[in-house]
Structure 1
Amino acid sequence: MKKGKLVAPVVVTVLVCLWLLFYLSMILLVPGVPFAFKAIGGVITLGLGAVAVYNLLERIKEIRSGEEDDLDNY
């Protein structure tokens, strides 16, 4: 397995998750917004973070199995 191919997906996922955590903190810290809107925004943001981590895990599986160049098949 080449670790060089894993660096970019991991770095991008970490940056996206940090951005989403920042966004979540801004949603929760805004005064005067009803709790329902904060809860909906929080759930959506956490869901996007979970999807990013899931995609990272799938990409790692693809790299380990050697299927990183699927476009060559078409």
Structure 2
Amino acid sequence: MFYIERGADIHYTYQNNGETALHWAAFCGRDKLVDRLIRSGTKIDGQDKTYNSTPLGWAIHSLQSNDTVNKFHQVDCIKR
């Protein structure tokens, strides 16, 4: 949120792979950041080029995976 408040490009995609801050926030279950990104106008249905998945898909995948390190508030991200 620090970077958003200072004008960071919320539409930036790493090496043009299509994943955005919203993809990663949803994957990691950072519900407050997901909410802030959405309120800031980020594209919610953008697909990454590796998995052809939206941020919603990333949150669902993380929630269903065995990756206990990234389990946090994925359900809240999905609801948003």
Same fold by TM-score greater than 0.5: no
TM-score (norm 1): 0.33
Say which one has the larger Rg.
1
TM-score (norm 2): 0.31
- Higher relative contact order (Cα pairs below 8 Å, separated by 6+ residues): 1
